[in-house]
Chain A
Amino acid sequence: MAFLVLPLLLLLAFLGSPVFTLIGGGAIFLFAAEGIDSSAVIVEMLRLASLPALIAIPLFTFSGYMLAESKAPQRMLALAEALFGTLPGGLAIVALFTTALFTAFTGASGVTIIALGGLLYPMLSKQGYPEKFTLGLLTTTGSLGLLFPPSLPIILYGIVAKIDIDRLFRAGLLPGALLLVALSVYAYFTARKAGVKNIPFSMKELKKSVRDIAWELPLPFLIIGGIYQGLFTASEAASVMAFYVIVTEVFIYKDLDLIRDIPRVAVKSMLLVGAIFMVLGTALGFTNYLIDAQIPDRIFGWLHTYVSSKVVFLVLLNAFLLVINMIEIFSAIIIVVPIIVPVAAQYGIDPIHLGVIFLLNLEIGYMLPPLGLNLFLASSRFHRKLPTLYRAIGPFLLILLAMLALVTYLPELSLLGAKP
C-alpha cells in the first residue's frame, strides 16, 4: 500500500494541496497501517496546548505585523540615514542593517521587501548606486536578519528541535553579525567603484530623527537585551513586545487605530499563525511515527555506508536544505528538522550548530533561483523580470554561500555564544 500512497501524496503536493492535508492524511494512513486508531494523531496534535514557548509565535507575529503597518519603517530609515549616510556606501549599509532588524522583528514573512524595499529602492537609485546592485541588495534583504532574535524561524526551530530558544538566539548572533559585516564590505567597495555621493552629515537631521523614533528606539534593546541578560524568556519577551507595540503605535504615535486597524492586523497575523499551527499540529503525529519507526536511524545507517565523513555529510546536508527551503520555508522547518537532528547527532553535530546552519540555509533558500520567495516578491515589488533578478543577486548569493561554508565548518562561530 505504502508504495501507492507516497506517489499519490507527492502528486497531490504538486497539484497544490495544502501541506497539512498531506501530512495529516499521511499520518492517519500510517497509523491505520499499524492498526492504531486515527485519534492517536490528534493526541499528538494536542501537544500544541502543552508547549510553553508556543505563545511566542502568535505574539511576535502580531507585534511584527503591527510594526510593519505603522510608520516605524520610515522612522527607522530616517535615523539610520542620519547616522550612517555620510560613510562611503553608507546608504547601502543603512539598508542592510535596518532590513535585518526589521526582518528579525517581523518574522521574515516577506514583509521586509514590501514595506522597506519600496522606500529604499528610490533612495538608493537617487544616490547613484548601480541598478543591478540595488536590486540584488534589496532581494537579499528580504530574509537578512533571520539569525537575530526574535525571528520566527528561530523560535519554530527551537520548538521543533526541542532546544532552548534563548540559547539558539545567542548562537545566531555572531554568524548573523559576520554576515552583515561581509555584505557591508561589499557595499562599501561597490559604492566607491561606482562613485556614489555621500550624504552630508547633519546634526539637525539626526536630532529630529532621534526625537521621532524615541518611543520605538528602546524596543530592540528591551527585547534583545532582555533575552540575552536572562531578564525574561522568549515567550515573555513576546508578551512584553506585543504590549509595548500596541501602546506606542496606538496611543503615542497614533499610526494605528485601536478599533479600525488593530483587529484587522490581528486577523491578518493569525492567518499566518493558523497556517503554521496546522502544519505543526499534524506534523507532531507524523514525525512521532517516523521516530518510532526509527526512520532517522535507518537514514543514518543507509547514509553511513556511503558517507562516513562528517564534512561530506555537511556538504550533502547543505545542498539538500537549500533545495527544500527554497520550496517551502515554515513547513521545511517543521517536517525536516525532527528527522535530521537525530541523524546529524550521530555524525557528532551539535543541535545548536545544526540550527544555525539550518537557519542560514533558510536565509539563502529564500533568495535561491529559480523558486526562492524573495525573488518573486522583489519581481512584483520592483516590476522586474525574474531573470534580471537572478543575475542581480549573483554576488550576494556568493557572499552568503561563503558565509554558509564558514558557519558549517567552524562550529565555534555558533557555539561560542551559546555556552550555557
Chain B
Amino acid sequence: MRRVFKAEEYLVKAEKAAVVTLIFAMVSLSFLQVLLRLIFHSGVVWLDPLLRHMVLWAGLTGAALAARYSHHFALETFVKLTPKQMQRPLEVCADLFTAAASALLFYASYKFVRDEFAAGSVAFYINHLAVKGGWAEIIIPASFALIGLHTLIGVFRPPDHEEGPF
C-alpha cells in the first residue's frame, strides 16, 4: 500500500503543477485580452475559446485534487452527529458510492469523447490550427477517473496523511 501512496503523491504533484500553470496562463492571457480591448480596441479572436477551455481544464483538475483532500461539498453535519465508532464505516460507505458514481460518470464521458473523436468535431481554431473536440474535452473523463482513484485510495489512507496541502 505504501507504494500506492507514493505513486499517488507523484500524481498529486503533477495535478498541482497543471493547476498552477493553467492559472498563470489564464491570468496573463486574459489580462492581455483586456489590455488589447481597452487600449487598441481589438483582441485575439481565438484567445476567448482557448481561455474558456483553460477554465474547464483548471476547474476539473482542481476537482480531482479536491477529491484527494476531501474538499467536495457534502452534508457532513449529520455524520458528525453520529457516535465516534460509526463515523469511519459511514465515511467508507460514502467513499465507495463516490467511486461508483465516478465510474458511471467516467463511462458516460468516455462514450461522449469517443463519439467526438469519431465525428471529427472541432472545439475551436487557433488561427488555422483546428483543436479537435475530443482532445479539448478529454479532461472530463480524465477528471472522473482521477476522482475515483483518489477516493478509492482515500479509503485506505490513514487519517494522519490527510492534513491537506497547506
Contacts and interface: CB of A to CB of B under 8 A. Distances in A.
A137 B60 CA distance: 37
12 contacts: A12-B94, A15-B78, A25-B104, A28-B104, A38-B107, A39-B109, A49-B52, A58-B58, A235-B30, A274-B60, A274-B66, A275-B63
B75 interface: yes
Interface residues of A, number: 66
Contacts of B31: 239-240, 242-243
A242 B27 contact: yes
Contacts of A177: none
Contacts of B112: 39, 42-43, 46
A347 interface: no
A327 interface: yes
Nearest to A334: B73
Interface string A282-313: 10000000000000000000000000000000
Contact of B97 (A17, A232, A371): A17
B26 A55 contact: yes
Interface in A15-30: 15-22, 24-25, 28
Interface residues of B, number: 63
B77 interface: yes
B62 A19 contact: no
B69 interface: yes
Q: Which DSSP category, helix, strand, loop or mixed, fits chain B's interface?
A: helix
Interface string A247-273: 000000000000000111011101111
B53 A274 contact: no
Q: Which 6 A-B pairs have the closest CB atoms?
A: A274-B62, A270-B62, A274-B63, A277-B59, A21-B101, A18-B72
Interface in B10-65: 16, 19-20, 23-24, 26-28, 30-31, 33-34, 37-38, 48, 51-53, 55-56, 58-65
Given A39-B108, A49-B55, A267 B20 contact: yes
B30 to A, nearest CB: 4
Interface of A: 12-22, 24-25, 28, 37-39, 41-43, 45-46, 48-52, 54-55, 57-59, 62, 231-232, 235-236, 238-240, 242-243, 246, 262-264, 266-268, 270-279, 281-282, 327-328, 330-331, 371
B105 A327 contact: no
A19 to B, nearest CB: 5
Contacts of A331: 73
Contacts of B60: 274, 277-278, 281
Nearest to A13: B75
Nearest to A20: B72
B137 A39 contact: no
Q: Which DSSP category, helix, strand, loop or mixed, fits chain A's interface?
A: helix
A327 B78 CA distance: 10
B55 A55 contact: yes
B98 A18 contact: yes
A267 B140 CA distance: 19
Contact of A38 (B19, B33, B108, B115): B108
B101 to A, nearest CB: 4
Interface string B88-102: 001101100110111
Contact of B101 (A25, A268, A328, A330): A25
Contacts of A55: 26, 30, 51-52, 55
Given A16-B94, A38-B111, A239-B31, A46 B71 contact: no
A49 B73 contact: no
Given A16-B94, A24-B105, 16 more contacts: A14-B78, A25-B97, A39-B115, A41-B105, A42-B109, A48-B59, A49-B137, A51-B52, A231-B38, A238-B30, A268-B166, A270-B59, A271-B69, A272-B71, A274-B64, A330-B73
A20 to B, nearest CB: 6
Nearest to A55: B55
B71 A59 contact: no
Contact of A267 (B16, B72, B75, B115): B16
A278 B63 contact: yes
A267 B74 contact: no
B155 interface: no
B48 A267 contact: no
Contacts of B109: 39, 42, 45
B26 A277 contact: no
Contact of B34 (A18, A42, A239, A271): A239
A239 B98 contact: no
B122 interface: no
Q: Which of A48, A50, A52, A58 has the most CB of B within 10 A?
A: A58
A20 B97 CA distance: 11
A282 B75 contact: no
Contacts of A46: 112, 137, 140
A37 B79 CA distance: 34
A38 B73 contact: no
